[in-house]
Amino acid sequence: MRVGIIGSGGREHSICHALNKSKKITQLYCFPGNAGTSKIAKNIIINLDDFDELKKIIIQNNIDLIVVGPEKPLVDGIVDFLEENNIKVFGPNKIASQLEGSKIFTKNLCKKYNIPTAKFGIFENLHDAEIFTNKAKYPLVIKADGLASGKGVFICDNTNEAKNAIKEVFDGKFGKAKNILIEEFLKGEEMSFFVITDGKTIKNFETAQDHKRVSEGDKGKNTGGMGAYSPSRLINKDLEAKILKKIILPTIHGLNEINTVYKGFLYVGLMIVNNEPYLIEYNVRMGDPECQTILPKLETDLLDIFLACCNGTLDKTEIKWQDKKSLCVVLCSKGYPENFQKNILIKDLNKLKLNKNEYCYHAGTKIDDNKIYSIGGRVLNFVSLSSDFNECRNNIHKLLELLNWKDGFFRKDIGYKVINK
């Protein structure tokens, strides 16, 4: 089979890497991919907003299946477009992708089906939102409705902060805003729960906890994710059953009621308060770097799982996992998440000798004349599997020392909550 992966990050490299193990694959393509994917797939540079061009290339190359990594093409309706053109594609359609594309869509679904989530209000103008903030309890969470690359969420400690946040949203910093979401602040511990579904059968795709802040001790600016570990320390059978029953099943049911079938990965972002799950957000894709953290544990052929989702036969596919801990550290370019330099040589990458439990996934990299350069903020993802989180992290730190990339930095404390030193 010929399979194409859409995206260019560490998530997509890890998906490519897992698919490459499948004996059924004859050729992988990546749109546009990175230096890492170029070793196992054919990278094709393309404007991902140009669905017609993509369709042309898929047909020219006889690609049998498309796997969509990031949220934007999903929210833009790439799945509907490809399916209308009889191209097999793994990922949710445009309406189902509203679970990530519109926080207000999700909140309204929660309200209708009694799904546990933070109490909220939706405000259609600056004036009403501001009046509300005058008498609200703090902290208060203010959110832009649409996709904002993780930036449209403000945790406000007082009225002033809340008013500034509301103004930024209505001023259009995250795209034209018709309304704004204001939420109660939930105090607990966050956990990410992943499932994969064909719309009928829902299968567990492991848990993880990530570190979104740039500095050690979970301080500083928000990023796409500086590292993650799997499984989450919070998961237990009782909690898992509650997440399925109270959150995921009513969501899939709610989508069915509007004639939508959810097919793909579903990333359930939760706040756990006293072993009770509250939905914070849905993402309609795998997490990055959670995907890189989780996929190395997968024993089942990933292609079989994707095909089962597309064909509606997930009930017949058993998903097997290695019983190991996994930890991922993201190597970033200095300055990330603000200004960072690009096109910096990473010269000692081929010095690294990875054993079978170690992985180095590329994110913001390019290859030029056989040399690897950084082109993004998050550059490389190092993953290690072991029976012990501390050992995972030590193994990764050894690799990072060997690489000794002077223009990069990483958080040394990834997984501190599960590592007792």
State the binding partner of 210 from ligand AMP, ligand GLY, none, CB within 5 to 8 A by kind: ligand GLY
By CB under 6 A, tell whether 269 contacts ligand AMP: yes
User: Which of the choices ligand GLY, ligand AMP, none does residue 281 contact, using the CB cut-off of 5 to 8 A by kind?
Assistant: ligand AMP
Toward ligand AMP, which CB reaches closer, 56 or 151? 151
186 interacts with, out of ligand GLY, ligand AMP, none, CB within 5 to 8 A per kind:
ligand AMP
For residues 327 and 192, what is the distance between their CA atoms, to the nearest angstrom? 14
Which C-beta is closer to ligand GLY: that of 48 or that of 330? Answer: 330
Which residue number, 188 or 250, has a Cβ lying nearer to ligand AMP?
Answer: 188
Report in angstroms how near the CB of residue 118 gets to ligand AMP at its nearest: 4
* Contact between 183 and ligand AMP per CB under 6 A: yes
CA–CA dist 158, 18 (Å, integer):
46
Pairing of strands 89-90, 371-374: unpaired
Residue with token string 């679970």: 99
- Selection from ligand AMP, ligand GLY, none that 141 binds (CB < 5 to 8 A by kind) is ligand AMP
Q: Does 141 sit near ligand AMP (CB under 6 A)?
A: yes
**Chain CA centroid to CA 291, Å:** 7
DSSP 93: -
Of 107 and 285, which has the nearer Cβ to ligand GLY?
Answer: 285
Binding residues for ligand AMP, how many (CB under 6 A)?
12
Task: Compute the distance between CA of residue 395 and CA of residue 325 in angstroms, rounded to an integer.
Answer: 13
3-state secondary structure of 390: helix
Question: Which one-letter amino acid corresponds to residue 201?
Answer: T
DSSP code string of 285-341:
S--TTHHHHHGGGB-S-HHHHHHHHHHT-GGG----B-S-EEEEEEEEETTTTSS--
What residues numbered 290-329 form the site for ligand AMP, per CB under 6 A?
none
Site for ligand AMP contains 280 (CB under 6 A): yes
Q: Which amino acid is at 394?
A: N
Please give the biggest Cα pair distance in the chain.
Answer: 62
Q: From 24-32, 180-188, 245-253, 369-377, give the range in contact with ligand AMP by CB under 6 A.
A: 180-188
The yes or no reply on residue 110 touching ligand AMP (CB under 6 A) is no
CB 32 within 8 A of CB 8: yes
The smaller minimum CB distance to ligand AMP, of residues 150 and 250, is found at 150
Question: For residue 133, what are its two tokens?
Answer: 């903030």
- To ligand GLY, the closest distance from the beta carbon of 248 in angstroms equals 18
Cβ closer to ligand GLY: 183 or 288? 288
Of the candidates 377, 419, 372, the residue with the CA atom closest to the CA atom of residue 394 = 419
Cα distance between residue 109 and residue 279, in whole Å: 11
User: Interface residues for ligand AMP in 151-170 (CB under 6 A)?
Assistant: 153
* Start-to-end C-alpha separation, the chain: 47
The helix/strand/coil state of 418 is helix
Binding footprint of ligand GLY on the chain (CB under 6 A): 210, 225, 283, 287-288, 290
Q: Give yes or no for residue 286 binding ligand AMP (CB under 6 A).
A: no
The pair of structure tokens assigned to 215 is 């500095």
Q: Is 210 in the site for ligand AMP (CB under 6 A)?
A: no
Instruction: Residue 148: count other Cβ atoms within 10 Å of its Cβ.
Output: 15
Secondary structure (3-state) at 267: strand
Which one of ligand GLY, ligand AMP, none is in contact with 290 (Cβ closer than 5 to 8 A by kind)? ligand GLY
| Residue 191: closest CA among 176, 212, 214 | 212
Least distance from C-beta 19 to ligand AMP, angstroms? Answer: 28
Binding track over 61-100 against ligand AMP, x by CB under 6 A: ----------------------------------------
Nearest approach in angstroms of CB 271 to ligand AMP is 6
Q: What does 206 interact with, of ligand AMP, ligand GLY, none (CB < 5 to 8 A by kind)?
A: none
- Interface with ligand AMP by CB under 6 A: which residues? 118, 141, 150, 153, 183, 185-186, 190, 269, 271, 280-281
